[in-house]
Structure 1
Amino acid sequence: MKVCSLSGPSGTGKSTSALVFAHKIGVEAIIDDGLLIVNGVKVAGISAKFEKNTITAVRRAIFTEETHREEVIKALDSYSVQSILIIGTSDKMTKNIAQRLALGPIETYYYVEDIRSQKEIQKAKFIRQTQGKHVMPIPYRQVEQNFFKRLIQKGKEIFTPKREKIGETTIVRPDFQQEYIEIEKQVYVQLLMYCCNQQDIVQKVEQIQFSLGEQAKATISLQLKMPIDYLLPRRLYQLQEEIQRSFFQHFGYELDVINLYVHAALHKRK
């Protein structure tokens, strides 16, 4: 069997990218958090995300329970799995899993920095820290919904560049993910407002829209002061740069999109 490892710290987006990456390197099966996933579908195992605390979640993820381990080993045989990607937080963890499941030695080691940009990793960490959300690379219908009291929602369908479906993701907030700092949307809007009002060219901020999903996106409508005796594009670029700098300073990640719309230029009313 071809055995590969993908490791990186918790909350960096390994499970989010797992399906696409496995398809890219020609691997049919994934071991992730106690689950065996073959061609995008869960075929055996119990997710560590069903556990009540971090200790039992780790034990589940590394297959310490005999019945759980035997179920996955049997499924590997019955599905004739020839290639597999083991996901973990370290090389030590993935080696441990490979040994417990009798998969043989790991041939290739990959790391989250190999498959995700620093910007994507920063945003994934931020979402984990502020929303407590985890991604499972299996379809929504396959998740035991009664296990989750706080959050379970559909993620997205994953496709190849040729629009062939690889699989789906599901977003959950496990019971053990209790410590996170929730940030109200208004906090982001207030920071955007402050950045704009600090610029001497801005007369008024008309409207701000902010969304944090697949993309972190800000859309701002402005009125500028008269007279405009400067190079307008350059000053707007400077405002975008200041917003980006402030977001990174306060939240530790960068916005994907900053749209500025100038609706008018007005003299200040006396």
Structure 2
Amino acid sequence: MMIHSLSGPSGSGKSTSALQFAHEQGIEAIIDDGILVIKGERVAGTSAKYERNTIKAIRRAIFEDEEHKKEVQEAIKEYDVQSILIIGTSDKMTKKIAQKLELGDINSFHYIEEIRSNKDIQIAKFVRGTQGMHVMPIPYKQVEQNIFKRMIQRGFEIFSKNKEKLGETTIVRPVFHQQTIDISQKVYVDLLEYILENYKGIAKVDSFHFTLKQLIPSIYIVIYIPYPVDYFVVEKIEELQQYISHQFLKHFEFQPGEIHVFVKGVM
């Protein structure tokens, strides 16, 4: 069996990226937080996200429970798995899981920074840190919804580059994740309005729009630029985009996914 490891900090988007990454690498199965996922669906195991405290969640994720371990081992044999991706917060954790499941040595180590942009990782960490959202790489129908009293919702459908559906994710807020910070969308809008009002490279703001589509902030701005145009317009617009990104990073520790600036005219 070929064994792969994917590691990265908690909340960096490993589970979100797992299905597509496994498909691109030709990996049949995924071990994530105590569950075995094959073809986008859970076939064995119990998720650590069902646990009521962090210690129990960690023990579940590294297969400390003998019955849990045997269930997943038997499923790996039943499905004749020839390649598997183990997800964890570090190489040490993925090695521990491989050892517990008696899979052998890990052949290939991968890291979240290699498959996700720094911007995507920042947003994922922000969502985890403020809203306590965790992603499970299995369909909504397979999640025991009565366990998650505070929040459970459908995530994203995952497709290959050839538009083949690989599976879907579910967003949950586990019981053990107690601390959350709710930030009103008006806070983001107020910061953006302040930036635009005080930015010297803008003659007038015609309109702007801020959205949080699929947890990824997108900004659309329509502006007039100052006359005379004795400067390189594209360069000035890029400076504005970079400044907005910097301010969001400074105040919220993440950058918007998209910043679209439309020049309507000259004033």
What's the TM-score once normalised by structure 1's chain length? 0.91
User: Distance in 2 between the 1:157 and 1:37 partners?
Assistant: 15
Q: Which runs of 5+ in 1 are unaligned?
A: none
* 2:75 alignment partner in structure 1: 75
Deviation string, structure 1 residues 209-230 (Cα, Å, up to 9, x no partner): 21234442112344667x5555
**1:189–1:208 contact (8 Å) kept in structure 2:** no
Cα deviation for residue 2 of structure 1 reads 1.2
Superposition pairs for residues 157-168 of structure 1, below 5 Å?
Answer: 157-168=157-168
User: Distance in 1 between the 2:240 and 2:223 partners?
Assistant: 11
User: Distance in 2 between the 1:58 and 1:124 partners?
Assistant: 20
Superposition pairs for residues 217-228 of structure 1, below 5 Å?
Answer: 217-222=218-223, 228=228
* 2:260 alignment partner in structure 1: 259
**2:120–2:257 contact (8 Å) kept in structure 1:** no
* 1:42 alignment partner in structure 2: 42
**Distance change (3 Å), C-alpha of 1:119 and 1:265:** same
AA in 2 matched with 1:155:
G
Higher Cα Rg: structure 1 or 2? Answer: 1
User: Distance in 1 between the 2:198 and 2:94 partners?
Assistant: 49
User: Distance in 1 between the 2:6 and 2:235 partners?
Assistant: 43
User: Distance in 2 between the 1:229 and 1:102 partners?
Assistant: 68
* 1:58 alignment partner in structure 2: 58
* 1:107 alignment partner in structure 2: 107
User: Distance in 1 between the 2:188 and 2:5 partners?
Assistant: 37
* 2:247 alignment partner in structure 1: 246
Q: Secondary structure at the match of 1:157?
A: strand
**1:27–1:84 contact (8 Å) kept in structure 2:** yes
AA in 2 matched with 1:129:
G
Deviation string, structure 1 residues 228-259 (Cα, Å, up to 9, x no partner): 55545554443323212211111222222212
Cα deviation for residue 102 of structure 1 reads 1.2
Q: CA RMSD in A?
A: 1.9
AA in 2 matched with 1:242:
Y
Superposition pairs for residues 1-270 of structure 1, below 5 Å?
Answer: 1-200=1-200, 202=202, 205-214=205-214, 215-222=216-223, 228=228, 230-231=230-231, 232-262=233-263
What's the TM-score once normalised by structure 2's chain length? 0.92
Cα deviation for residue 176 of structure 1 reads 1.2
Q: Which runs of 5+ in 2 are unaligned?
A: none
Q: How many residues align?
A: 265
Deviation string, structure 1 residues 32-90 (Cα, Å, up to 9, x no partner): 00000012110011100011111111011011111111111111111111111110111
